Amino acid sequence: MHAITIPEPGGPEALVWAEVPDPVPGDGEVLVEVVAGAVNRADVLQRQGFYDPPPGASPYPGLECAGRIAALGPGVTGWAVGDAVCALLSGGGYAEKVAVPVGQLLPVPDGVELTVAAALPEVTATVWSNVFMVAHLRPGETVLIHGGSSGIGTMAIQLAKAVGARVAVTAGSPEKLARCAELGADILINYREQDFVEEVRENTAGAGADVILDIVGAKYLDRNVQALAVNGRLAIIGLQGGVKGELNLGALLAKRAAVTATSLRGRPIAEKAAIVAAVREHVWPLIADGVVRPVVDRTVPMADAAEAHRVLESSTHVGKVLLITPNA
């Protein structure tokens, strides 16, 4: 098979489409013939040499894919060769084939094309686990989503609206904010021109956001705490703005607030399986009913993954960028 390899860390040109050995599914795994993968920020970090795969994971980038089951490993039940699936991965999505733990498989939702389904596993698992399983967003509450036009953001907007929450978003242009509004965002904040703390307070009668989903990290830490409501929950899932920040514990204590930080890739298989099961139970019906939909900016041939990385790093996209294999 072919896969995107990284012989040496570097820029987008470091991604090389090369012939590599086929993976072999182990106990409790299936082999998926990949038709599409999706690009995530973690892939960029891996390409740059800053985010190695977990022990035992595929060395190739790619945290989600869609395709058809090509073979079943020992002990696998409930799935059959030929089933159309999408999957959450620890790596290996930038390839024509990948071995996947059975607990990280999802059926392709009704009404979704097979290639487009590659846009779903990572974002749905990230949003559902952080916003709902950890931060417990409830109907009537306000959630602030940083990077509202990103793959994570576009899914978070829709899921938050689906449960009856009020949604505030930050984005860097009027065009991106308009797309967020189309998806249901209520409060639109241009972070280049507006102070999100002031805007959230103004639009919540001074109360603040009950939940904040943050991809920025250190740069926003203090201001996120300022923007939180009493009993607010800040969920940090990215570090684009740095890894070290100063936290005012007095402000956190006064608000009886909580700060959590999670990543998905390095979690134990059992934890990933539990998250995937929750996504299938709670999110898949919303997709099948058309309440929630994947947002895809563009598709690129997988052999041209470097171009897809350039798009992601330019931040000109809205939603997901997909990589299409010759199997499609």
Residue 115's Cβ-count burial label (10 Å; 0-12, 13-18, 19+) is buried
Residue 149, pLDDT score: 97
Q: Choose among 297, 283, 260, 272: nearest CA to 158.
A: 283
Least trusted range by pLDDT, from 169-183, 209-223, 278-292 = 209-223
Question: Which segments within 39-126 are labelled E, that is strand?
Answer: 64-72, 84-88, 97-101, 105-107
Residue 278, pLDDT score: 98
pLDDT digits (tens, 9 = 90+) for 41-54: 999 999 999 999 99
Please name the helix (run of DSSP H) or strand (run of DSSP E) that holds residue 121, with its range, or none: helix 121-127
Give the mean model confidence (pLDDT) for residues 3-14.
98
Q: Please determine, for residue 240, whether its predicted confidence score (pLDDT) is greater than 90.
A: no
Residue 217, pLDDT score: 85
Residue 245, pLDDT score: 84
CA atoms within 13 Å, Cβ hemisphere of 98: 36
pLDDT digits (tens, 9 = 90+) for 266-277: 899 999 999 999
Contact (Cβ atoms closer than 8 angstroms) between residue 323 and residue 297: no
Q: Please determine, for residue 96, whether its predicted confidence score (pLDDT) is greater than 90.
A: yes
Q: Please determine, for residue 243, whether its predicted confidence score (pLDDT) is greater than 90.
A: no
pLDDT digits (tens, 9 = 90+) for 112-166: 999 999 999 999 999 999 999 999 999 999 999 999 999 999 999 999 999 999 9
Can you spell out the DSSP letters for 229-291? EEEEEEEE---TT-S-----HHHHHHTT-EEEE--STTS-HHHHHHHHHHHHHHTHHHHHTTS
